[in-house]
Structure 1
Amino acid sequence: MGNMRRNVVVGCVFIIALMASVSSSTARASSSIVCNVEMTDLLECLPAITGAHPPAPTRRCCKVMRKVNLPCLCRYKPQLAKFGANPVAAMALPKHCGIKKIPRC
């Protein structure tokens, strides 16, 4: 099971890196910025979007979600499952963080 968890984490890190390199129109000049936040900040939410029954997002994750460009993240929904992330959990993060204005993805 440890290898499976590591593969999920590696997959999610890969997708975040892919998003940064592919989305130059939504990223700032720095390649470490994705949808208005640092890639390392997005990793705060990784536990809340992995696995069949992910835990609730942490306060730090919710802080990131309040800064992120949510419509920008919607573009990556189809890719999440390919890399082991739970798309339903990922799309539910804003609601779980108390964000009221949530785009439809």
Structure 2
Amino acid sequence: MGKNNAIIIALAMVLTTAMMMEEATSYPICNTDTNDLQKCYPAVTGNSPPGPDCCAVAKSANLECLCPYLTQSGLDPSKVKSVLASCNVGNPSCLS
């Protein structure tokens, strides 16, 4: 495994762990705080629709920058696409 892949996987694990923790320390990733990304966690891991807070995050996040985290995090791409569609946000290139 290359050094870059190891870094991406490590960051994805940190992001996923931070999203699961209720009171996680916020880390900025692609100009978005991980605590803000947590607002979408129920929608991208379950069957609940995204709320207004999640949609606000999806609209303001740099999704192209988040692509490595989205594709390496273990999240179901179809659920991520569904959340983005519900929020009227286009898919980043990694999910197209």
TM-score, length-scaled by structure 1: 0.59
Q: Which residue of structure 2 aligns with residue 16 of structure 1?
A: 15
Number of residue pairs the alignment of both structures matches = 76
2:53 counterpart (54, 60, 65)? 60
How far does residue 15 in structure 1 lie from its aligned partner after superposition?
4.1
Q: Which residue of structure 1 aligns with residue 93 of structure 2?
A: 104
CA deviations 1:28-86 (Å, max 9, x no partner) are xxx711122111000000000114xx2111100000111100101212233222xxx32
Query: Compared with structure 1, are the counterparts of its residues 47 and 18 closer, same or farther at alpha carbon in structure 2 (3 Å cutoff)?
Result: closer
| Residue 33 (1) aligns with residue 22 (2) | no
| Residue 92 (1) aligns with residue 92 (2) | no
Measured on the aligned residues, the alpha-carbon RMSD in Å equals: 2.6
2:39 counterpart (41, 44, 68)? 44
- Rounded to whole Å, the distance in 2 between the matches of 1:90 and 1:15 is 18
Higher helix share: 2
| Structure 2 alignment gaps of length 5 or more | 1-11, 19-25
TM-score, length-scaled by structure 2: 0.63
| Structure 1 alignment gaps of length 5 or more | 1-12, 20-30
Aligned amino acid, residue 62 of structure 1: C
